[in-house]
Amino acid sequence: MDLSFAPYGVTGDADFVVAFSRRLNDLGLTASAIGIVDRALETDVPSARLDGARHRSGLSRLHCHRGELLRQAGELAAAETSFRTALGLLEGGTTRAGREGRAAVLNNLGLVHCERGDLSEAKRCLMASIEIDERLGTGRLELAVGFDNLGVIELRLAAAAGPRTARPPTSRAGRADEQATTPSVHSVAEACNS
């Protein structure tokens, strides 16, 4: 067994493999990073016989990480396959970690669909990810990432829909009414802080 896989081969914990491949990717060695994950996925993990749920979680994490590396490399079809495999491994999971993993995979799958130009499917994936995060009470930072990604999709969908056909108000009263129904920056900030 290659020493770089020893922790994974013994425990089934994907942390070391993911950290090592991230470092390779950060150094511009994306193909090597993907290769490391592929080799880990081919590794027979004896602990898999002891704790199937933990093993599936580790495999899902490896497939999700592989998908992200492939997405960054522009290999969108292969990335989607990895993300879908990760989702399949998490199917039916009831643990918090499993649901958090599912939300992360759906977010990444949404990014793949966005890069492909399938904005409606990207929106569906991102909405599902945000819904899971909201039910779990995920921290604001994680939710902000999901909402930021969704905002990008919404802007692209709006641009694709073309200019609005609504007529601007013609009277001064019309503009005043419009201002009365438009939330102020202050009211939006209050809503975000509550």
Please identify, among 54, 73, 91, the residue that sits at the C-terminal boundary of a domain: 91
pLDDT in tens, 6-32: 666 666 678 888 888 889 989 999 899
Residues 65 and 116 in one domain: no
Claim to verify: residue 104 and residue 161 sit in the same structural domain = yes
Whether 113 and 81 map to the same domain: the answer is no
| Backbone CA torsion sign across 137, 69, 67, 52 | negative
Q: Which residue has the tokens 């290769």?
A: 35
For residues 77 and 20, membership in a common domain is answered with: yes
Same domain, 72 and 102: no
| Whether residues 120 and 78 fall in one domain | no
Q: In whole angstroms, what is the distance from residue 129 CA to residue 106 CA?
A: 5
- 96 close to 107: Cβ distance less than 8 angstroms: no
Q: Domain containing 40: what range?
A: 1-91
Percent of the chain with pLDDT over 90: 23
Give the total residue count for the chain.
194
- Tokens 């966005």 belong to 114
What does pLDDT average to over the chain? Answer: 76
Maximum mean pLDDT: which of 11-25, 40-54, 111-125, 145-159: 111-125
Residue whose pair of structure tokens reads 């997405």 in the numeric block: 71
Q: Residue 108 pLDDT > 70, yes or no?
A: yes
Q: Are residues 15 and 107 in the same domain?
A: no
Across the range 101-130, mean pLDDT stands at 89
Cβ-proximal residues to 5 (8 Å cutoff; 6+ apart), any chain:
17, 39, 40, 43
The number of folded domains in the chain is 2
In a shared domain, residues 112 and 73: no
Same domain as 122, residue 62: no
pLDDT of residue 192: 36
Which CATH number fits the domain that encloses residue 9?
1.25.40.10
Question: Between 14 and 108, whose confidence is greater?
Answer: 108
Q: Is there a single domain that holds both residue 26 and residue 104? A: no
Lowest mean pLDDT among 12-16, 17-21, 62-66, 146-150: 12-16
Q: In the listed set 63, 91, 119, which residue is the last one of a domain according to the structure?
A: 91
Last residue of a domain, one of 91, 108, 123: 91
**What is the predicted pLDDT for the residue at 74?**
93
| Percent of the chain whose predicted confidence (pLDDT) is above 70 | 72
pLDDT value, residue 14 = 82
- 152-169, pLDDT tens digit by residue? 888 888 888 777 754 555
Phi, psi of 145 (to 5 degrees): -60, -45
Q: Are both 139 and 186 inside the same structural domain?
A: yes
On whether both 74 and 115 belong to a single domain, the answer is: no
